[in-house]
Amino acid sequence: MTLLTLPSSFRPASFSMQLETVQRAFASPFGGSEQVVDLLNDRWTISLTLPVGTQQNAARNEAFLNALRGQTNTVSLYHWARRQPLGTMRGSPVAGAASVGADSILIGTPAGSTLLAGDMIGVSGMLLMVRDDCVADGVGLVVPLVNRLRRPLVGGESVTWDRPTVPFRKVVKASFQYFPGYAEGVSLDFVEAVG
């Protein structure tokens, strides 16, 4: 398995990202009560569309997609609409220790730094989404998360705020249609490769 580099010709015209949660729901047939068990194996999915373009760009993208060899190889992807946080956190922040299943983390960053709901950060090979707006005080930035931690944080790990990525696998068969002078766009789906 190889982690491939995204070619410069790969520029989506549309993009969506969704968190797929793994859970089991049980409902009582008699009393109407329900129970939901969260199995803590969330993963991100991405759907995107490459635009109509030149045959040369399509050829580069086609070679890249074929090099993914189905789901064998991976590519690092990020949230195209939010490459950097909407909040003000920058610099070289580090995360504090946290256990598996935690739904918040502490980030060491200067007082007054912010992260806003929907911001994406990367820590220890995980792509995390901020659940609510938060502001750093003198201790740090307590960040509530949409997705829970699938692995523990030991503390002191770097937090990536500029295009945080994780590996994704292509999960759809896609092909380009060529016409005189141009090539049609193509829709693609990817799922986070959890290792």
CATH code, domain with 26? 3.30.200
Dihedrals phi, psi of 4, to nearest 5 degrees: -90, 155
Tally of domains in the chain = 2
Residue 89 in any domain: the answer is no
pLDDT bracket for residue 104 (50, 70, 90):
very high
Do 58 and 107 have their domain in common?
no
* Structural domain that includes position 98: 94-160
- Single pTM value for the model: 0.90
Q: Which residue has the higher pLDDT, 25 or 164?
A: 164
Residue 9 in any domain: the answer is yes
Answer yes or no: is pLDDT of 113 > 80. Answer: yes
Do 149 and 182 have their domain in common?
no
Q: How high is the mean pLDDT of the chain?
A: 94
Residue 88 in any domain: the answer is no
Do 59 and 119 have their domain in common?
no
pLDDT in tens, 35-85: 988 887 889 999 999 999 999 999 999 999 999 999 999 999 999 999 999
Do 152 and 176 have their domain in common?
no
Q: What is the pLDDT of residue 23?
A: 85
Residue 23 in any domain: the answer is yes
Do 155 and 170 have their domain in common?
no
Do 149 and 171 have their domain in common?
no
